Structure formats: C-alpha cells, structure tokens
C-alpha cells in the first residue's frame, strides 16, 4: 500500500489551516486570496523544480499547495466584482492574479533549481 494518499491528506490539512491563518491575519477577501495564490504558486514552482521525490511532491505540492491556494475563491471574487458593476476591478483581479501566480511559479522554479 502506498502512503501517497496519507501524505496528500496531511499536507492538505496543514495547507488548509495555513490558509485560514492568512485569512484571519489579512482579513480582506481579495487580498488574502491573492496572497495565498501567489505564495502557493511560488512554493509549488520550488517543489516541482527541486529533486525532492514523489512523496515530497505529494505532501507539499498536491497536499499543502492544493489546500492553501484557492481557485474557487478567486473565481467567485472576480465574478462578484463584475456582477456588482466593477468590471475594470474584475479584469484587474483576473489578469493580475494570473500574472502574479505565473511569476510566482517561475521564481519558485528558478529557486528550486538553484538551491538543489
């Protein structure tokens, strides 16, 4: 039997708690969503670029990053902005989040390849 599901579950539990801590600390819906998505992308890039092995990817990448980041909140907040008549803010949120998350993955990937 493989331990992969257990590693994903443990990483997910820790990631969800960390996500909650960020929400409580920042307290602003779109800002905390942006922060966790960019930080999670940075970490995921690092994890995937570093030679950490399948177990570490399951724990940190799939588990932690999967629970820490949130596409659903990002999508909901963007649609809500548009529905409330803030089309420009919705577009900035959508494009900005995607761009910053992509930069996060790239920087994390660079860091993971340099460190290891």
How far, in Å, CA of 33 to CA of 39, rounded?
10
The secondary structure of residue 51, as a DSSP letter, is -
DSSP class of 62: I
- 66 known member of a binding site: yes
Residue 90: which H helix or E strand, with range?
Answer: helix 87-115
Residue numbers in the known binding site for Na(+) are 66, 69
Annotated binding-site residue numbers: 66, 69
């Amino acid at each position: 039997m493989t331990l992969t599901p257990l590693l994903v579950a443990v990483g997910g539990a820790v990631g969800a708690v960390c996500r909650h801590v960020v929400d409580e600390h920042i307290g602003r819906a779109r800002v905390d969503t942006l922060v966790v998505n960019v930080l999670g992308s940075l970490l995921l890039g690092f994890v995937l670029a570093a030679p950490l092995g399948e177990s570490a990817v399951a724990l940190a990448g799939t588990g932690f990053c999967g629970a820490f980041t949130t596409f659903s909140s990002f999508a909901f907040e963007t649609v809500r902005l548009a529905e409330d008549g803030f089309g420009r803010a919705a577009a900035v949120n959508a494009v900005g989040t995607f761009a910053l998350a992509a930069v996060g993955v790239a920087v994390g990937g660079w860091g993971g390849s340099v460190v290891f």
